[in-house]
Structures are given as C-alpha cells and as structure tokens.
Amino acid sequence: MWQSNRLFVASIVVTVIFSAVSNTASATRSFVAGAKVIELRTYGAGKFGSCVAQINKNVNTDGDQTLSCGNARLVSFGCDGSATNSKAEANAMFSNAQLALVTEAPVDIYINDAVKYNTTMCVAEFIYVK
C-alpha cells in the first residue's frame, strides 16, 4: 500500500512538471515591459497589417517568453483588421503608440507570434503607455 501511494504521488509530480514545461515551451505570447517607440510606419493595401511600430527592444528575447518573430523590433497592430485585433482595437493601439512616440513615454506591450505578417512581423495584442 505504501509503495503504491508513493508511486501515485511521484506520477502526479511528474505530470505537473511536464505540464508546466510544455506550456512554457509552446508560448506564443510575450510581455515586453518598458519599451520605447522609436518609429511608426503606415502601409497601404494591408501590407504588414497597415500600421507598425518599431520599438527599442527585441520582442524575441526581451519579454517574459521567447518568441520567433522574424523582425524582432517591428510590431504590427493589424489596423486593417486581418489579424487578431478588430480595426477599432488596432487603431486605438496604434494611437497609443503615436502618443508614446510623441511624449517619449515607455510602453508595456503584449506580442503574439502565432499570427505574423509575411512570416516576419508579429502582432501586438495590448499596449499600455506609462
């Protein structure tokens, strides 16, 4: 009886550890804190989601999760509505990026690498101007 309880507890511990490791390995969302917006770009015909910010941090390595964005300093908001954000949400986030650029305020931003434009540019899900 004691042996089977010990085996049961050990299997639960292994399951919990495996779940934690597999969840972090497959993360597609990262929180990047204290970034500075250094450039804004707008594109026509839906290219790169139409509105993009360049930040001073590497979204692949400077956040709380490792991402695989081809261009590590450019972030799209998807203002054309073709990504995860609606047009209204994306344009509101782009307006916040404009505010951050003009006031030189730092931003906190969530980046998602599950959706990319031209396999290189990841999409922002959230931006907060400090």
CA 93 – CA 124 distance, rounded (Å): 8
- Give mean pLDDT in consecutive 10-residue pieces for the chain, a chain of 130 residues: 48 40 58 98 91 97 95 95 91 98 98 90 95
Give the burial class of 88: count Cβ atoms within 10 A of its Cβ; 0-12 exposed, 13-18 middle, 19 or more buried. Answer: exposed
Give the domain 30-129 fold.
Answer: OB fold (Dihydrolipoamide Acetyltransferase, E2P) (2.40.50)
- Contact status, residue 104 vs residue 81, Cβ threshold 8 Å: no
**pTM for the predicted model, two decimal places:** 0.77
Domain ranges of the chain: 30-129
C-beta atoms surrounding 24 within 10 Å: 11
- CA–CA dist 96, 123 (Å, integer): 15
